[in-house]
Structure 1
């Protein structure tokens, strides 16, 4: 389609008029807009055609989450090419921050998501992105091996290619199995994959909503670990979740291991201000691994 109006009319099946298109906060990667039309209001995300994989995999992740019938996500209206751009059209939702009630509901719903199953292997049927960084998801039956080969190693390799020194990374990679004592290995669970406070909210009725996933099947603890970053979620969220799923042995040690993935990603996306933190986390994790061996 050459115009957004033509795209909308073809998608919705009737003539439509665009009344306004207002920029809104939607991350630093895409052009995000509140699109008001003569019919409905939508959330529009646009990228260059060459970068369409980021939005295509976001749509696939939202669809995968919706299929579990556990957590609410914005409805996918459609996607496609408009001129030289790729557009993703979602349901518009007026969202506010999570509060005690919505946090408690989300904790229960996230536990249901993590119990939903759907895969015998870790990973997913397609690669996607964590932020703007490629996230490989080739399946593996071993979680420690998957997390080393598909999560930490690509981020560490990218950081080193960009000139960031991570001198103690190799011992951590080779000793990752020590973080999983007997009884601590997970079974594959559907994950949001990028669960921080900026990717969750509540609607006008106080119902929680999740968006911007980096979906795959992995260890539920990875979602919980990253939820503590950037201020965390309401206490009611954690209490409600833990009433459904209890902590596994070694959780406190694995939390920084899982968050290292995101710190390395921030190092690769935003630069050297994250290097000192990454180096310190690696040193502390190596010390914890030695203590566990």
Structure 2
């Protein structure tokens, strides 16, 4: 129902959609398709067609949808992976929202996983001089710092792991012994991570952030983009499962990984595991401790 959308946001949406589309827009209906503690999201029907709308608290998550819109536009500009078109981002005092092209989901085609593997390999061949990005964004509901540096190990330590470990220690969930164990593993990273150029990565690629369009072709959503080590992305796809052997074979055929990736994957996944430990607690912290022990 349209009444589910906050009043101030609804009026702002109507006005700004009209400006973007260069025509008067009437909001017709709204139905939730997703929701949770961060975002409210659903199908917005208008006189100009259907869109996907999601909104949240501008105070709690400042700049979240502006960053998401930038990330989607960056991915779209590569002409590799397919993403929803960004129509509009609105930020006001209490609420912020993003309006995206509405994509009806369908069954995956037989070529779905082959295509996704090929497209991701092509995406990862878009390189930069430095790791990071020229703006920060979010990973889930946590801010993600993308300060640029030419050294992957420095980036992994300082922009991905340190702040999350500090949050856990400051909150009392982890102790200084855990922090020291992490530092000891950092001293071995030169021997573990292969040298690679900074690759453009989606940044939050798990099975919940991919879908099939009406042609059965892959669409990726909800990015947390930056230029990183491409193995970080492949490791993330393994963390919660859902990606087929066909996907990995297709990727490796197009852009082979360095030998020993399977032995390194768990260490890359220390980052999303620490994100989840900060958001959801002790079970993920136990996994992080096991990873650190394995590489100590």
TM-score past 0.5 threshold? yes
The 1:38/1:83 distance shift into structure 2, 3 A limit, reads farther
* Contact kept in structure 2, 1:256 and 1:285, CA below 8 Å: no
Alignment partner of 1:135 is 2:144: yes
Residue matched to 1:162: 171
Q: Please give the secondary structure, in 1, of the residue aligned with 2:240.
A: helix
Instruction: Could you list the structure 1 runs, at least 4 aligned residues long, displaced by more than 6 angstroms after superposition.
Output: none
Q: 1:178 aligns with which of 186, 191, 198?
A: 191
- CA shift digits 1:248-272 (9 cap, x unpaired): 1331222001111001000001112
Deviation of 1:83 (Å): 6.6
- Structure 2, gaps ≥5 residues long: 1-7
* Contact kept in structure 1, 2:231 and 2:261, CA below 8 Å: yes
Alignment partner of 1:277 is 2:287: yes
Residue matched to 1:79: 89
Q: 2:231 aligns with which of 221, 228, 234?
A: 221
The 1:39/1:82 distance shift into structure 2, 3 A limit, reads farther
Deviation of 1:113 (Å): 0.4
Cα RMSD, aligned residues only: 1.7
Q: 1:102 aligns with which of 104, 112, 125?
A: 112
Q: 1:244 aligns with which of 224, 247, 254?
A: 254
The 1:98/1:156 distance shift into structure 2, 3 A limit, reads farther
* Contact kept in structure 2, 1:179 and 1:253, CA below 8 Å: no
Q: Please give the secondary structure, in 2, of the residue aligned with 1:72.
A: coil
- Structure 1, gaps ≥5 residues long: 287-293
Deviation of 1:11 (Å): 2.5
Calculate the TM-score normalised by the size of structure 1. Answer: 0.91
- CA shift digits 1:82-112 (9 cap, x unpaired): 5732121100111246564211101000000
The 1:99/1:280 distance shift into structure 2, 3 A limit, reads farther
* Contact kept in structure 1, 2:107 and 2:216, CA below 8 Å: no
* Contact kept in structure 2, 1:113 and 1:190, CA below 8 Å: yes
Count of paired positions: 282
Matching of residues 20-35 of structure 1 within 5 Å: 20-25=29-34, 28-35=37-44
* Contact kept in structure 2, 1:98 and 1:233, CA below 8 Å: no
Alignment partner of 1:150 is 2:163: no
